[in-house]
A and B are shown apart, each in its own frame.
Chain A
Amino acid sequence: MSDNVLDIENLTVRFHLKRGHLTAIDGLTFSVKHGETFGLVGESGSGKSVTARSIMRLIPTPPGEIVSGRIMFNGEDIYEKTNDEMRAMRGKEVAMVFQEPMSALNPVFTVGSQISDALRTNMGMSKSEANDRVVELLQLVGIPSPGSRLDSYVHEFSGGMRQRVMLAMALSCDPTFLIADEPTTALDVTIQAVILDLIRSMIERFNMSLIFITHNLGVVAHACDTIGVMYASHLVELGSTKEIFANPQHPYTVGLLNSIPRLDTQTKFLTPIKGLVCNMMDPPTGCKFHPRCDHAMDICHQEIPKMKELAPGHFGACHLHDL
């Protein structure tokens, strides 16, 4: 058996909508090793969250459709599992932290009952066992006086505290794999620093693997071992964090890094990527990035570039690399 926890092979997810077909992910391939933190970066609409949801098998079908590919989790194809097997897997093996704790948590149940719900169904705990465990979990994620917060509702917590509750819930059934979908985007920088630190310490402590989805390059630079950059449903570059930042190969990655204003120096003008993100209902032919790319060639209009290994462990999908 390989040392990969998760292998996504050639995954294509399409949504059939009234207005037409939308390919949210196209031919996505990557793997996550045991204990690895994998950062998935890209702008809105690039397919990051759909990737996360397809791993959890949370894509509603219809309108969604897994057109091709498979997702292997610990060597088993999750799309061949029955619904019951899948339910047992969610939470226990793979858990997810969402961006908006206010909408991901239920406002009409107390925090204690929401977390213990998972424990009682998934782990078969009794009510009092589950309650003890919830207190333990809330303590773990740093909620002060957890015993007295069990009967609080979500609205009684601040943004940072809500995200801690989400994390406690995700960790409740001892998952080996965590998917964090923009977990710090809605938070202030100081709270973000705390939550990132917390996630990192949980990962180390429980020896988990993590997929970290974000659009913030600053966050991935410090939180992840490996980075995958997505643009308009395609993975365009993949490599170790150091490599991607020191030696970005794909024009989109380069453009993205150049677009960020820096903290240490002040420049008069930034160098943004020209143009707009393409309309996913009517994407350009060939490489999806070519209308915005300074290096676009004839072949870019016609052919979708394939992923190639440019240096050991560093992959890129661009026709420039064929020259």
Chain B
Amino acid sequence: MSEYLLEARNLTKHFMLDSDIVSRLAGKTRTLKAVDGINFGVRAGETLGLVGESGCGKSTTARLVTRLVEPTAGEVLLRGENLLNFDRKQMQKTRKSIQMVFQDPYSSLNPRKTIMQILSRPLEVHKLANNWIEKRKRVLELLNLVGLGEEHVDRYPHEFSGGQRQRIAIARALAVDPEIIIGDEPVSALDVSIQAQVLNLFRELQEKLSLTYIFIAHDLSVIRHISNRVAVMYVGKIVETGNVADIFNQPKHPYTKALLDAVPEADPTVPPPVLTLKGEVATPIDPPPGCRLCSRCPKVTDICNKVSPELVETSPEHFVACHNL
């Protein structure tokens, strides 16, 4: 039995582009390698931060782990059992333990349903309440848990602000008593002062309910704040993973370094952001065989263009995928 509560092994998702019959006969299909053989694990009670720029495959990863998108290859192990072998019934049961919170609280809540209806739906699906009174009780409990007053229960989503909506989305995820919550950029649509409230809420809930988080964000300071361990993604690959302190204090991969240098800190006395990479993010469509960063990397050598580097453990728990360490 592995030490991880949830583990992804060689997780891969390739989308076929131009998949019409003519292109296929002409052999002109292209492959978008959204997630390309990644490995990671998250232990019970900890937070794994997944960070990277748009298009690097963070959200696809979240959807693969929950089987909202079917992987092309690989395994997703929950307590050592491969989710991908589950049939529909087993999967539905499993969904009770893995829940998601999405980025945009405006589109993830149905505008025509009241909060009561939104929050009682998961209870109905998973048969967690026998009658209306039980449902109502649980829904009120959930609202309290996420710091919303009980008076909100019969209102509609449009009556709430972004931060409150995100609290409702969190309450919906908590309704089925999950073990793991996957947050796909859950705070990036919020204003700073509200973002801090929601981040604190995530922390409190983790302590109270001993939850395990996979937290996806593009904002490095948010990742730094919430995570125990971090995985940095670049164009479908994990390039560096390790404890939060190692990643932020001793980044080893050129991409992680560049990412950290590019963040403008809210302090005029620290050096201004600089970009050490040239050019733009590489495309995941039919990528060349070498390292995905090779066209932008300042330390590029011959081997980088030919062989894709594997993750190597450079110090305990700290893995880096780079030829030039």
Contact = CB atoms under 8 A, between A and B. Distances in A.
B221 A261 contact: yes
A158 B267 contact: no
B118 interface: no
B225 A267 contact: yes
A196 B273 contact: yes
B200 A263 contact: no
Interface in A186-201: 188-194, 196-197
B220 A263 contact: yes
A191 B277 CA distance: 10
A266 interface: yes
B141 to A, nearest CB: 22
A190 B248 contact: no
Contacts of B269: 245-246
Contact of A191 (B224, B226, B267, B280): B280
A274 B147 CA distance: 12
A242 B268 contact: yes
B268 A263 contact: no
Contacts of A188: 53-54, 218, 281
Nearest to B161: A276
Contacts of B244: 266
Contact of A259 (B192, B248, B260, B264): B192
Contact of B196 (A158, A189, A259): A259
Interface in B160-174: 161, 163-164
Given A189-B218, A262-B221, A268-B203, A158 B280 contact: yes
B273 A276 contact: no
A149 B268 CA distance: 37
B266 interface: yes
Nearest to B199: A270
A277 interface: yes
B310 interface: no
B209 interface: no
Size category, B interface = 35 or more
A270 B225 contact: yes
A277 B248 CA distance: 33
A269 B221 contact: no
B245 A266 contact: yes
A218 B196 contact: no
Nearest to A197: B275
Q: Which of B194, B200, B221, B264 has the most CB of A within 10 A?
A: B264
A141 B59 CA distance: 31
Interface string A4-25: 0000000000000000000000
Interface residues of A, number: 48
A256 B192 contact: yes
A234 to B, nearest CB: 16
A190 B258 CA distance: 8
A222 B200 contact: no
Nearest to B160: A276
A43 B191 contact: yes
B198 to A, nearest CB: 9
B264 to A, nearest CB: 4
Q: Which applies to chain A's interface (DSSP): helix, strand, loop or mixed? A: helix
Given A188-B53, A196-B264, A221-B266, A262 B192 contact: no
Interface string B168-199: 00000000000000000000000111111101
Contacts of A241: 268
A257 B280 CA distance: 31
Nearest to A194: B275
A272 B193 contact: yes
Interface in B261-316: 261-269, 272-275, 277, 280-281
Q: A43, A44, A196, A272 — which one has the most chain B CB atoms within 10 A of its CB?
A: A272
Among B192, B261, B272, B275, the one with the most A-chain Cβ atoms within 10 Å of its Cβ is: B192
A242 B266 CA distance: 11
Which of B203, B268, B281 has most A Cβ within 10 Å? B268
A190 B273 CA distance: 9
Interface in B231-270: 244-245, 248, 258-269
B222 interface: yes
A255 to B, nearest CB: 6
A271 B268 contact: no
B272 to A, nearest CB: 4
Given A270-B225, A276-B164, A259 B272 contact: no
5 contacts: A190-B277, A193-B264, A261-B196, A261-B221, A266-B224
* 3 closest cross-chain pairs (CB), A and B: A272-B196, A261-B225, A218-B264
